[in-house]
């Protein structure tokens, strides 16, 4: 239970290299594209206007590279949490969305439901995925009552965090867009339900040039 309002900024990494577009990257430790690096710079400028008091981050390269422009100009010391890494897609890893039906007889568009049902071969189970992410958010909330916290992570992690925080099934977020270098802000207020203040805001696309 929070004593004062906590603002959580859930941030997805920037665009990855083109060869990884429309594949299930998961645990592949890919780099940002040139566009992704530019998105990260614009994102950093936007975040400078927020009074962020703590930063948590996935250890994966695409997230670290997204964080870098903001971290370079900020005295905060980001805390790396291994369990904020992207979900493990098992045998789907490295395969394109169009390949999944042919190779596995499953629809890639049902990935959240299939993950929860542990039907993606050799993937992380839905229960294990939820458990590790929930442990992260519990620690963050416990450590930062009344503060604004940025969480640099992945699209799958943003969806799971929203599922946990809002107490909604993960499959609810199957059709929610979580764009590259986007910011979703959730307020946790004492004695009130969590409130989404900002959803999938992309400074590089939504702010005037």
Q: Tell me, letter by letter, the H, E, C secondary structure of the chain.
A: CCCCCEEEEEEECCCECHHHCCECCCCCCCCECHHHHHHHHHHHHHHCCCCCCEEEECCCHHHHHHHHHHHHCCCCCCEECHHHCCCCCHHHCCCEHHHHHHHHCCCHHHHHHHHHCCCCCCCCCHHHHHHHHHHHHHHHHHHCCCCEEEEEECHHHHHHHHHHHHCCCHHHHCCCCCCCCCEEEEEECCCCCCEEEEEEECHHHHCCC
pLDDT digits 0-9 by tens, 69-113? 999 998 899 999 999 999 999 999 999 998 999 999 999 999 999
**1 inside domain:** no
Residue 69 lies in a domain: yes
Whole-number Å distance between alpha carbons of 180 and 34 = 13
Cβ neighbour number for residue 156 with a 10 Å cutoff: 24
- Tell me how many domains the chain contains: 1
Assess if residue 102 is contained within a domain.
yes
CATH of the domain at 70: 3.40.50.1240
Domain that holds residue 69: 6-206
Has residue 169 been placed in a domain? yes
- pLDDT in the model for residue 1: 59
Q: Do the domain assignments include residue 187?
A: yes
Confidence class for position 36, pLDDT limits 50, 70, 90: very high
Could you report the per-residue pLDDT of 103-157, keeping only the tens digit for each? 999 999 999 999 999 999 999 999 999 999 999 999 999 999 999 999 999 999 9
């Amino acid at each position: 239970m929070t004593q004062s309002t906590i603002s959580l900024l859930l941030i997805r990494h920037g665009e990855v290299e083109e060869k990884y577009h429309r594949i299930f990257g998961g645990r592949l430790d890919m780099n940002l594209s040139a566009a992704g690096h530019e998105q990260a710079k614009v994102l950093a400028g936007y975040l400078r206007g927020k009074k962020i008091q703590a930063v948590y981050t996935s250890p994966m390269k695409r997230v670290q590279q997204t964080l870098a422009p903001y971290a370079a100009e900020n005295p905060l010391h980001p805390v790396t949490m291994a369990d904020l890494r992207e979900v493990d897609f098992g045998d789907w890893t490295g395969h394109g969305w169009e390949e999944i039906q042919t190779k596995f007889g499953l629809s890639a568009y049902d990935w959240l439901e299939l993950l929860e049902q542990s039907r993606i071969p050799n993937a992380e189970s839905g229960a294990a995925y939820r458990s590790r992410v929930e442990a992260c958010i519990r620690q963050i909330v416990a450590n930062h009552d009344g503060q604004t916290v940025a969480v640099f992570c992945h699209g799958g992690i943003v969806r799971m965090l929203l599922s946990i925080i809002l107490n909604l099934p993960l499959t609810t977020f199957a059709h929610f867009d979580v764009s590259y270098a986007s910011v979703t802000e959730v307020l946790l207020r004492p004695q009130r339900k969590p409130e989404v203040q900002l959803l999938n805001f992309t400074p590089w696309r939504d702010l005037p040039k």
